[in-house]
Each structure stands twice: as structure tokens, then as C-alpha cells.
């Protein structure tokens, strides 16, 4: 066989020599789906071009942040101006206040917030704050939810409710996760049992309100209501991890949808990232004033960051949030996403492929399953081999979706109806490869 002349292959071979697995975040390596990852050379609007100058309609959007599409003029201008003024000072700036005010106005359950540089850092800090503020150690999380790669959160369920979790990564000592209880998503009975057993020791419950790290699974209203009630009854903090859903599923984030279903509903702490940084390293965590004032320098809970509130990242986030605050932005984005999901569903039906899909705002998910799953074990019933065929069928037709079946997809404001229709046409062909 002739050696490949594809530049992506050459770059991957070179990357493997100097970066473990050739990538700086594991899912980029295409391990689940096979083949060579595309090395991206540039992006504009709804498109990305690889090292071979092949164009793809992008449904990853940097895993969520690029809600305006790539290269939005107002964002680029704000970033260029901020960069010219200084890349980093390690001292406070007015722009940090502006961004904090902007986020707090959109997500009013937060009275104060702190800016950090990644969702991992924000989630880790929120957990420390919940523990510090309550004086308790135990944390509840749900199987299939991802909250970044902090040690205490890299955990899978133990053998029963009386036992705590086991690490999911080497390098995490069992003692570090011994306070983390892992429960099944949307399982009210198990949640009640866990609080009955451990309630007085639980510092916080952390949840993705729409779980985007097991593709797209909504927390049911009944489940959200019980999470809120049990946390309140037992003095635990309810932590909404909206790193993915924040300013993505609605302007007010997923919690605004839950407040509509459950009047007065609010989480105690919220973790944000992705969209609020607009593609730059920026994330945040926030909540009620009394809890947030437990943080250093006011309180005993330590938390810090050399690049926190970075002047270029805050400029990018501000320009992004100002653009998506324009009237009608989410209606148009939601309609575009709905058009995609309906089109894919119709194409799958025509091809006789078992298929279910859901969306909210600019986020969507689909499964090669006849019905939408409600929890992680159900998600894992998806047919991995067929997904991989579909993934490569789409990629070969210029459509770039996440290279793993447990990841959500994202539509941006730059995706046109023509882009959506071209995607559906490509999917109609790709579905026929499955049987
Ligand atoms: C992406 C994500 C994180 C981690 O954010 P990073 O910026 O990748 O560290 C945490 N929680 C959720 C729900 C996420 O989707």
C-alpha cells in the first residue's frame, strides 16, 4: 500500500511524537470512532477547514462555546482591541465587573460570581466552596454527568448506596473519592434513599440540568423538584453545572427552564463556562452572596488563579453575551436547531433507522435508539458500531459531529437553513450505510 499523502495523517504522526495520543484532550483523538482526527487550519461562520483544505459544517463548535459561529466580527474586534491593550495584568480590571454584571443579569440565582479559566476549575472550586460553607464532606453526583476532571469528581458508582464511589482514572487515590456518592440520573427513589441514609453529611449535590456529557438527557421536572426539596431539607447546596447548558439552551440557561416549570426554583450554586467565554479560556461559579463571601480574601475557602478574569478572555465573553442578548436571538437559534433535529428524524425514519432526538436552544442530541434514554445505562445501549459508520459517513460528506456517541451537538447562529438542509441530505445518505 502506498503511504498516505493526507496532511492530517502526517500531522497526527508528528503530534504523537510530542503530545500523548497526539491530542491535548482525549476525545479529539477519534479513538471511539477510528480514523485520523482532522487537524483544523481555520474556521469561519458555520464551517471549519482541515489541513487538506476540506470544508466541514461544524456541529461541535469547540464543544459548545462558539454559539455565534466562528469569526464573529464584533467578537474579533473586541478581542483585538483588548489584546492590544494588554494580554494579562494580574490586577483587577473594569471589564471583569462588566462581565460579572452581564452574567448575573442573565442568571439571577447568582448574586455574586468568581471568574476562572476552565469549567474544571469552576466545578472543583464550587465543590470546595460547598464543603467549606456547610462544614460537610459528602458530595452527590450522577452517573453520566461530567463536571471536569477534578480528582473528587472522577468517580463511578460503588457497590451500593451505603458505599461511596470508585475512581474512574488512575492516579486518583480511593480516599479522594470516598466522599463522593454516585447515583442514577432521573431516579427519584434512589435519590430519596441516599438522602435518608447520608443527608446530614451531604455538602452538595452537583448535576447537569440537561446532561450533555451523555449526549442529551433531560432531568425530569419531578427529579429536579426532589433534588431541590431534599437539598433544602437537609441543608445541602444544590449545584447546577451549566458549563455546557449556560447561555446555550436559553438566555437564562437551563435553570430558567426549570424555574418556568417550578415557580421560584433556584439552585444554590451555578457553574458556568463554554459560551460565557465565547471561545477563550473563561469560566465562572457563583451563587448567593452569603455563600460566595466564604471565599478568600473574605472567607476561609481558598481559591485563586494567575489568569482568572483575563482581560482578553473577558472581552471575548462580553462581546459574545452582548450579541446573544439581542432580541430574537434564541428564537432563531432554537428554530434552526429544531429544523436539524426534525430533518434528521425524518431522514432516519425514511431509511428505517431506529432513531430518537431532542434539542433545546442551540443544543441537540440524537440516539440510534427508538426512544430517548433517561439515564446512563440506557444511553449505553446505543449501537456504537452503527454510530461510527454514521459518523464517518457524515464526515466524508463534509459534516463534522462529535466523534463519540455520548456527546451533545451544537448549532450556532451562523448555521443557515441551507447548511441544515445540506446536513440532512448528507445524513439521509449516511443512514443508508447503516443496514
Ligand atoms: C465541558 C464541561 C466541563 C469542563 O469544562 P472544561 O472547560 O473542559 O474544563 C464541566 N462540566 C460540564 C457540564 C461540561 O460540559
Residue 364 has pLDDT above 80, yes or no: yes
- Sheet (strand 356-360) strand order: 356-360, 363-367, 409-410
Cα separation, 208 vs 338, whole angstroms: 22
pLDDT at 402 over 70: yes
DSSP code of residue 310: -
Residue nearest to ligand 1 atom 8, measured at CA: 119
pLDDT digit string, tens, across residues 79-100: 999 999 999 999 999 999 999 9
Using the atom order of ligand 1, give the atom closest to the CA of residue 244.
Answer: 15
The 8-class DSSP code of residue 27 comes to: G
Please state the atom number of ligand 1 nearest to the C-alpha of residue 123: 10
Q: Could you tell me the pLDDT band of residue 157, with boundaries at 50, 70 and 90?
A: confident
pLDDT at 133: 98
Sign of CA dihedral 169, 174, 175, 178: positive
Give the distance between the most distant pair of CA atoms in the chain: 67
- pLDDT tens track for 259-307: 999 999 999 999 999 999 999 999 999 999 999 999 999 999 999 999 9
| Residue 297: Cβ-neighbour burial (10 angstroms; 0-12, 13-18, 19+) | exposed
Count, residues in the chain: 435
138-142/47-50 β-pairing:
unpaired
Separation between Cα atoms, residue 98 and residue 96, nearest integer Å: 5
* Mean confidence (pLDDT) of the chain: 96
* CA 380 to ligand 1 center in whole angstroms: 21
Between 160 and 31, residue with greater pLDDT:
31
User: What residue owns the CA closest to ligand 1's atom 5?
Assistant: 119
**DSSP 8-state secondary structure symbol assigned to residue 38:** P
CB-CB contact of 307 with 93 (8 Å): no
Closest CA to 247 of 329, 345, 337: 329
How many angstroms separate the alpha carbon of residue 122 from the centre of ligand 1?
A: 9
Q: How confident is the model at residue 1 (pLDDT cuts 50, 70, 90)?
A: low
Residue 167 pairs in a beta bridge with: 155
Closest ligand 1 atom to residue 213 Cα is 15
Express each pLDDT in 115-131 by its tens digit: 999 999 999 999 999 99
User: What value does the mean pLDDT take over residues 210-221?
Assistant: 97
CA 326 to chain centre: 23
Write the CB contacts of 301 (distance below 8 Å, at least 6 apart in sequence): 128, 129, 132, 133, 294, 295
pLDDT range class, residue 55, cuts 50, 70, 90: very high
Is 53 a catalytic site residue? Answer: no
Q: Give buried/exposed letters for 23-38 (b at 16+ CB in 10 A, else e).
A: beeebbbbebbebbbb
- Under the banding of pLDDT at 50, 70 and 90, the label for residue 3 is low
Q: What is the structure's pLDDT at 435? A: 79
Stretch 169-185: mean pLDDT: 93
Sequence-ordered list of residues with C-beta below 8 angstroms from that of 38, at least 6 positions apart, any chain? 8, 48, 50, 51, 54, 56, 395, 400
Among 113, 130, 149, which residue's Cα sits nearest to residue 317? 113
Least confident span in 33-47, 155-169, 199-213, 355-369: 155-169
Q: What angle do CA 258, 267, 64 make, to 5 degrees?
A: 70
Q: Identify the DSSP state of 204.
A: E
Q: Predicted confidence band at 162 (pLDDT cuts at 50, 70, 90)?
A: low
* pLDDT for 2: 63
Query: Are 63 and 274 contacting, i.e. CB atoms less than 8 angstroms apart?
Result: yes
pTM over 0.75: yes
Q: What is the pLDDT of residues 4-21, one digit of tens each?
A: 779 999 999 999 999 999
Residues with CB under 6 A from ligand 1: 118-120, 123, 146-148, 208, 212-213, 241, 243-244, 273, 283
Residue 309 CA: distances (Å) to CA of 108, 252, 269, 279, 297: 20, 21, 19, 14, 16
6 classed as catalytic: no
CA distance 271 to 240: 6
Task: Name the nearest CA neighbour of 307 among 341, 280, 272.
Answer: 280
The candidate with the shortest Cα–Cα distance to 431, out of 358, 348, 365, 364, is 348
141 is catalytic: no
The pLDDT value recorded for residue 401 is 98
DSSP code, position 26: G
Alpha-carbon span 214 to 377, nearest angstrom:
10
Q: How far, in Å, is the centroid of ligand 1 from the Cα of 213? A: 9
Mean pLDDT of 348-372: 97
Amino acid at each position: 500500500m502506498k503511504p498516505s499523502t493526507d496532511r492530517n495523517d502526517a500531522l497526527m504522526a508528528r503530534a504523537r511524537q510530542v503530545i500523548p495520543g497526539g491530542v491535548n484532550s482525549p476525545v479529539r483523538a477519534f479513538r471511539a470512532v477510528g480514523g485520523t482526527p482532522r487537524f483544523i487550519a481555520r474556521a469561519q461562520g458555520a464551517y471549519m477547514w482541515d489541513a487538506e483544505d476540506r470544508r466541514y459544517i461544524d456541529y461541535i463548535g469547540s464543544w459548545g462555546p462558539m454559539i455565534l459561529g466562528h469569526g464573529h466580527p464584533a467578537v474579533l474586534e473586541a478581542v483585538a482591541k483588548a489584546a492590544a491593550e494588554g494580554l494579562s495584568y494580574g490586577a483587577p480590571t473594569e471589564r471583569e465587573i462588566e462581565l460579572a454584571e452581564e452574567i448575573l443579569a442573565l442568571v439571577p440565582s447568582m448574586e455574586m460570581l468568581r471568574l476562572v479559566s476552565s469549567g474544571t476549575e469552576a466545578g472543583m472550586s464550587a465543590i470546595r466552596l460547598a464543603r467549606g460553607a456547610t462544614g460537610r464532606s459528602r458530595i452527590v453526583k450522577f452517573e453520566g454527568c461530567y463536571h471536569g476532571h477534578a480528582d473528587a469528581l472522577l468517580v463511578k458508582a460503588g457497590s451500593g448506596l451505603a458505599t461511596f464511589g470508585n475512581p474512574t482514572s488512575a492516579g486518583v487515590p480511593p480516599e479522594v473519592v470516598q466522599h463522593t456518592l454516585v447515583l442514577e440520573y432521573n431516579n427519584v427513589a434512589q435519590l430519596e434513599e441516599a438522602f435518608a441514609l447520608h443527608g446530614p453529611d451531604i455538602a452538595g449535590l452537583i448535576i447537569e440540568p440537561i446532561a450533555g456529557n451523555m449526549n442529551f438527557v433531560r432531568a425530569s421536572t419531578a427529579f429536579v423538584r426532589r433534588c431541590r426539596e431534599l437539598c433544602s431539607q437537609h441543608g445541602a447546596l444544590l449545584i447546577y453545572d451549566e458549563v455546557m447548558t449556560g447561555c446555550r439552551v436559553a438566555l437564562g440557561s437551563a435553570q430558567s427552564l426549570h424555574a418556568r416549570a417550578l415557580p421560584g426554583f433556584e439552585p444554590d450554586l451555578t457553574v458556568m463556562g463554554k459560551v460565557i467565554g465565547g471561545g477563550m479560556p473563561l469560566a465562572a461559579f457563583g451563587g448567593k452572596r452569603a455563600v460566595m463571601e466564604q471565599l478568600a480574601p473574605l472567607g476561609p475557602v481558598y481559591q485563586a488563579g494567575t489568569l482568572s478574569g483575563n482581560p482578553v478572555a473577558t472581552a471575548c465573553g462580553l462581546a459574545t453575551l452582548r450579541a446573544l442578548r439581542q432580541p430574537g436571538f434564541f428564537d432563531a437559534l432554537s428554530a434552526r436547531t429544531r429544523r436539524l433535529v426534525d430533518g434528521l428524524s425524518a431522514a432516519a425514519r425514511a431509511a428505517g433507522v431506529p432513531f430518537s432526538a431532542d434539542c433545546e436552544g442551540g443544543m441537540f442530541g440524537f440516539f440510534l435508539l427508538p426512544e430517548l434514554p433517561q439515564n446512563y445505562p440506557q444511553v449505553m445501549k446505543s449501537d456504537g458500531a452503527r454510530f461510527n459508520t454514521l459518523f464517518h459517513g457524515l464526515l466524508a460528506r463534509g459534516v463534522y459531529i462529535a466523534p463519540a456517541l455520548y456527546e451533545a451537538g451544537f448549532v450556532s447562529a451562523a448555521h443557515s437553513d441551507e447548511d441544515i438542509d445540506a446536513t440532512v441530505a448528507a445524513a439521509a445518505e449516511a443512514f443508508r450505510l447503516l443496514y
